[in-house]
Amino acid sequence: MNRGNFLEIKNKFLARRFKLLEQALVIEEQLRRAAYLNMSEDPSHPSMALNTRFSEVECLAESHQHLSKESMSGNKPANAVLHKVLKQLEELLSDMKADVTRLPATIARIPPVAVRLQMSERNILSRLASRGTETQTQQVAQQ
């Protein structure tokens, strides 16, 4: 690998890392601001319904995972229960599929982060940067 190619790969990697860091800082500030404004999740929001259904699917699958082995060994009651559980899972998955198709429209209606925080992106980043240097200064002072 020649040096030019290595530097290009390294620069692309660093650019992606900085972009991810910037996004993480914006999210962190958004969470701080939401806590400051005493905001909470809306349980009726469509994304929360999707999350609830996913939890139900996960719980149902984990609690009945032993049924397939019992059904294969010829246990007829286990086979009947397995079919009922599979039908429930199928219904939940079809509900989730319907939720997912509505999700892009729901997300499009969410205002941008800067609007929700009532700050510009530049202000958000400068506040985060200043907090980062304050934290480093405090850590050095404590040592």
pLDDT tens profile 117-130: 788 888 888 888 88
Q: Is the pLDDT of residue 140 over 70?
A: no
Burial (Cβ within 10 Å: 0-12, 13-18, ≥19) of residue 68: middle
Residue 17: the pLDDT is 92
Report how far apart, in Å, the C-alpha atoms of 33 and of each of 15, 52, 54 are. 27, 26, 28
67 falls in which pLDDT band (50, 70, 90)? confident
For 72-116, the pLDDT digits (tens) are 898 899 899 999 999 999 999 998 898 888 888 877 888 887 887
Nearest CA to 50 out of 100, 107, 104 is that of: 100
**What is the average per-residue pLDDT within 46-50?**
76
What is the pTM (predicted TM-score) of this model? Answer: 0.47
pLDDT of residue 86: 92
